Chain A
Amino acid sequence: MEEIINVSGRSIPHVYPHLEVWGGPIALYLFFGGLAAGLLFFASFFYLKGKADSMPMTVKVAPIIAPIIIILGLMLLLYDLHHVLYFWQLFLHFRIESPMSWGAWTLSVIMIPAILWPLSYLDDIIEYLKENKPNCKMIGLLNWANDLIKKLPVLPAIMDLFIKNRAMVAYVTIGLSIVLGVYTGILLSAFNARPLWNTAILGPLFLTSGVSTAAALLMWMSNDHKERTLYSKIDLMLIAIELFFIIHMFMGFLSSGVAQVEAAQLLLGGPFTVVFWVLVVGMGLVLPAILEIMELRGFHVPIAIPAFLILMGGLLFRFIMVYAGQASGFHIL
């Protein structure tokens, strides 16, 4: 028998014997970041494709969610800081090697197009809501906001400039949204000490997953049949890519050192196995893929079901990665 124990009574909250210094707020923050990145990506992409009028939900309406969830995500991040009164130190430094620093700056920069984009479409959003959901209580609020903006001094001029250069803004936003999507994975993968996170594939995997959750949300919100079918197809493709990345990730772990193999075991026969394979892969990827294929083949499936499953799968995936990653580490003998 091999026995390794701590004899000096070491028991430190969130660190020892179980590392759990990051928890739910970080997982939610990563989920919101990925979702916002996906929404902004689709809005910019389809705007550039000239689909602003044929896909109003994607280009004009849905982006209003992005700034809201980015702010929510930032609030979660601030909530998770233990020395929160010093958070401004984040914006006094830019450290090129620190993903946390990258994230703080990327989120701040992407906030500009994320806020201006939906503001520039406020008239269209109000019209869309009046047409489709005349009883929506948001309409009054949006009207009030719209009037207020027009009365403000500098903002209308900025908005004009923004609308004139929307194509250029869209290109920049695509770039920034990819950085944000990848960042949600890099934030975790930059830690050599956590073998389960320390794989380069986590960036693309989280980007794909984020974009896929955004596609699911758009599919759910849209009431245009064509738009829905398009997102159904996009989602199918993204799910395939995700599965491919996940398989690749495990192949990488299993052919690596003992720490990586042990990390992979957490998901392949360890405490996180059932949740990962049943809830994330099964319910969050494979089942919605089957439902969407059935839908495309002509069976009627309420669109909310696969969309909800994909969103839940994406959220759970981040929770599991955050917690399982902290359970992985080097053998210290």
Chain B
Amino acid sequence: MRYAMAMDTRKCVGCSDCVVACQTENNVPLGYCRDWIVEAVKGTYPDTVQMHFKSERCMHCENTPCVRTCPTGASHVIEGGIVKVTHDECIGCAACIEACPYEARYVHPDGYVDKCTFCDHRLEQGLNTACVDVCPTSCLIFGDLDDPKSDVSKILKEKDWYVLAPEAGTNPQLYFLK
């Protein structure tokens, strides 16, 4: 099993529903977030001005610098390639935050390091992640890459995609559709 997410940059309108859905689903304290929206604009008026939105979160990389640098093993990988943090083992040294090229982790006000979990508590119940479920334009597609019939496998076969900072060598599992 290899969970992955595809994000259609052409469908996203930047409404940030995914951000609030995550905050409420996972009790993320106000002022913090596990996912966020980036807007990129290119070009000069009146020539072609292009823009797109990206919904970003932990990339649940296959090669995990955050897990490697953790001194206690609090950061670990579970079934499906999901990167998680065990709160009671985390000492809050923030080495994993320094190690993440995507700045996807933060220090929770309670002291431990926190991040996106791909809503593994929902996956266990056979549900989708909260962000995927609320997206009004269906621009987030989640599933198992090892299953060739899953939506995410199919769409990655059909469409052109890219990942962020591939030169970091982390092999991220959040794919952006062009």
Contact = CB atoms under 8 A, between A and B. Distances in A.
A332 interface: yes
Interface stretch (B87-95, B118-126, B139-147): B87-95
Interface residues of B, number: 52
A15 B167 contact: no
Given A12-B31, A15-B107, A21-B107, A6 B36 contact: yes
Tell me the dominant secondary structure on chain B's binding face.
Answer: loop
Most central of A11, A89, A90, A95 by chain B CB within 10 Å = A89
Nearest to B68: A97
Contacts of B41: 1-4
A82 B94 contact: yes
A324 to B, nearest CB: 13
B16 to A, nearest CB: 4
B44 A331 contact: no
A10 B103 CA distance: 11
B112 A330 contact: no
A89 B90 CA distance: 8
A259 interface: yes
B37 A6 contact: yes
Contact of B38 (A5, A22, A97, A104): A5
B51 to A, nearest CB: 8
Contact of A15 (B40, B44, B71, B105): B105
Contact of A101 (B39, B53, B71, B164): B71
Interface in B9-66: 14, 16, 19, 31-33, 36-44, 53, 65
Given A92-B72, A93-B72, A330-B165, A15 B38 contact: no
Contact of A192 (B14, B89, B90, B101): B101
Contacts of A326: 98
Contacts of B111: 82-86
A259 B167 contact: yes
Given A1-B44, A86-B91, A87-B91, A100 B69 contact: yes
A16 B57 CA distance: 13
A15 B103 contact: yes
Contacts of A333: 40, 164
B21 to A, nearest CB: 12
B3 interface: no
Contacts of B4: none
A89 B85 CA distance: 14
Contacts of B42: 2-3
A247 interface: no
A276 B98 CA distance: 22
A24 B74 CA distance: 25
B70 interface: yes
B140 to A, nearest CB: 14
Contacts of A90: 71-72, 91
Interface string B98-130: 111111011100111100000000000000000
Interface in A3-40: 3-16, 19, 21-22
14 contacts: A5-B38, A12-B106, A13-B107, A14-B107, A19-B97, A22-B94, A22-B98, A80-B93, A83-B111, A97-B69, A98-B68, A98-B95, A100-B71, A194-B98
**8 interchain residue pairs of minimum CB distance:** A82-B92, A83-B92, A83-B111, A101-B71, A100-B71, A330-B165, A193-B101, A8-B37
Interface of A: 1-16, 19, 21-22, 80-87, 89-90, 92-93, 95, 97-101, 104, 190-194, 257, 259, 326, 329-333
Interface of B: 14, 16, 19, 31-33, 36-44, 53, 65, 68-74, 88-95, 97-103, 105-107, 110-113, 164-165, 167-170
